[in-house]
Amino acid sequence: MRLGVIADTHGLLRPQVFAAFAEVDHILHAGDLGSLDLLTELQALGPVTAVFGNTDGFDVRSCLPEVATIELDGFDIVLTHGDQLGSPTPEKLNAAFPDAQIIVYGHTHRPLLTVVDVVVTVMNPGSAGPRRFKLAPSVGILELEPGIPPRGRIVPLIDSAD
């Protein structure tokens, strides 16, 4: 199973996301959508699980949870924006969600893919929305296959306007 991982769109869904997510089976959005319309656009690509982030308004917060747990291909996944932990780190997230095998978060806008406590995969896809902190926009891809550890990668969203 292939997952498209995205966060911090802040109302901007770059066209490159459609190419990056062309063959995904499920999309995880780790908050700061900016608009429910963006969620509708992502749903055109496939099923979406999403959470709200700290900058999302009441319209988004009334439709989405702060934390979502989902089981996909035998993996227990936690999806959160992460702002409830202050400045989230893989270690803080692992402590907050000890039963998760995969933790996906956003908030920092900094892409990260790491393993914590030997078996927990933690991914922040970076920010797919407007540029902040001079970081290139990006998304993530996670490959799940029962019986083997998840494989993942960060995918930069190249745009000549950036």
Quick one: average pLDDT of 108-128?
Answer: 88
Domains contained in the chain, number:
1
Task: Judge whether 49 and 30 are in contact, CB under 8 Å.
Answer: no
Instruction: Report the CATH number that the domain containing residue 22 is assigned in CATH.
Output: 3.60.21.10
d(CA 48, CA 41): 10
pLDDT of residue 159: 62
Q: Is residue 162 part of a domain?
A: no
d(CA 8, CA 37): 14
Q: Is residue 161 part of a domain?
A: no
Q: Is residue 36 part of a domain?
A: yes
pTM (predicted TM-score): 0.93
Q: Is residue 79 part of a domain?
A: yes
pLDDT band at 162 (very low <50, low <70, confident <90, very high): very low
Higher-confidence residue of 103 and 161: namely 103
Q: Cα–Cα distances in Å, from 122 out to 2, 43, 49, 58?
A: 16, 24, 17, 28
Which range of residues forms the domain containing residue 52? 2-156
Give tens-digit pLDDT for 42-72. 999 999 999 999 999 999 999 999 999 999 9
Nearest to 66 by CA among 30, 100, 33, 37: 30
